[in-house]
Amino acid sequence: MKISGFTFLRNTSKLYYPIKESILSILDLVDEFVIALGEGDEDDNSLELIQSIGSDKIKIIHTKWDFEKFTGGTEYAHQTDIAKEACTGDWLFYIQGDEVVHEKDKQTIKNACEKHLNDEEVDGFLFSYFHFWGDYKHYFRDHCWYPYEIRIIRNKPEIHSFRDAQSFRKIPNFDGFSYAKKEGSSKLNVVKIDANIYHYGWVRPPKVMLTKRLTFANAYRKVTEETLKKFTQDVFDYGRMDRTLEFKGTHPKVMSERIKELDWQDDLRYDGPIVIGRPIRKHEKLKYRIIIWVERNLLGGRLIGGYKNYTLLKK
């Protein structure tokens, strides 16, 4: 059995992606790690960070991003597919630059890959998510956040990254362009495993978080004056932290040094009203606060509805 790791990157350091930690978290689990490395800004040191790992498992494909051709965030899916197509493993472990795997889960992951290696009905594996918010002590896993997602897929040519690279679908006779088109595609059959993805995409210094959000918005549509108005504050305001869940577990060991570097605690708020003029996040709206309260207090954490881009197998 062979497992390939794969991801896509660009401007990772300046946007505070824990990319080195992300790669290292699964490097000993995979036989190769393929990276589609996009051409970044002049001060982008992503290549140097990757090279500092010093592993011959890592294979780099140099790319250029084209937001004119791949609109609505689909350039992310396109870059993901570039890395995927260069993988040679039986199973392909996709990990984004702000995602990290805990060392305690790696044996469970390997066991699942071995158990289902010859079961062609299984297209991939579903992981649970911790979406950390503001710092490393608070997270979301409720109605406004995806609690599960596919992160290991079988190496089949008809499986492609989907939409903005959050997930995957089977797309036979794919035209290499229509990543957001559901017609003619189908969901993957997946097995849920007892392993987590630690998602740190919302843990950044407030000024960097604001820059990242603007960069992200630009990938989905050409930034207009109206869009820019949503990012007019000097720093990103995480809102009231007391409305998140408190994390009481342990983080992956590879994150220990980065966690020590957090120095924006004084910019986080735990009470008080929403700042006037600040965009209201989805999880802060009254409708969703009510739904979240019901999920947490009456349903034991079970979500009401939600987007599920997979077919769950009971195996």
List alpha helices for 14-100, DSSP H: 19-27, 46-53, 74-85
Q: Give the pLDDT of residue 10.
A: 95
Q: What pLDDT digit, counting tens, does each position of 138-151 carry?
A: 999 888 899 999 99
Which residue range(s) make up the domain with 210?
1-299
The top-scoring range by mean pLDDT among 4-8, 146-150, 207-211, 273-277 is 4-8
Which DSSP state fits 301?
A: T
Mean pLDDT is lowest, of 34-43, 200-209, 276-285, 287-296, for: 276-285
Q: Give the pLDDT of residue 301.
A: 78
Identify whether 3 is part of a domain.
Answer: yes
Identify whether 111 is part of a domain.
Answer: yes
Phi first, then psi, for residue 166 (nearest 5°) are -75, -30
pLDDT over threshold 80, residue 219:
no
User: Rounded mean pLDDT of the chain?
Assistant: 91
pTM score of the predicted model: 0.94
Q: Give the pLDDT of residue 216.
A: 74
Q: What pLDDT digit, counting tens, does each position of 220-272 carry?
A: 665 555 655 555 567 788 988 988 999 999 999 999 999 999 999 999 988 87
54 phi-psi bin (left φ>0, alpha ψ -120 to 50, beta other) = left
* Helix-helix angle 46-53:19-27, to 10 degrees: 30
Domain count, the chain: 1
Q: Give the pLDDT of residue 164.
A: 93
Identify whether 306 is part of a domain.
Answer: no
Identify whether 304 is part of a domain.
Answer: no
Determine what percent of the chain is predicted with pLDDT higher than 70.
Answer: 95
Q: Give the pLDDT of residue 213.
A: 81
Q: What pLDDT digit, counting tens, does each position of 92-141 carry?
A: 999 999 999 999 999 999 999 999 999 999 999 999 999 999 999 999 98
Determine what percent of the chain is predicted with pLDDT higher than 90.
Answer: 71
Q: What is the CATH number of the domain that holds 227?
A: 3.90.550
Q: Give the pLDDT of residue 233.
A: 66
Identify whether 307 is part of a domain.
Answer: no
Q: Name 145's Cβ contacts closer than 8 Å, sequence gap at least 6.
A: 129, 131, 283
CA distance 266 to 107: 38
Identify whether 21 is part of a domain.
Answer: yes
Q: Is the pLDDT higher at 283 or at 272?
A: 283
Q: Give the pLDDT of residue 308.
A: 86
Question: Mean pLDDT across the stretch 75-103?
Answer: 98
Tokens 């702000």: give the residue. Answer: 98
Identify whether 72 is part of a domain.
Answer: yes
Identify whether 315 is part of a domain.
Answer: no
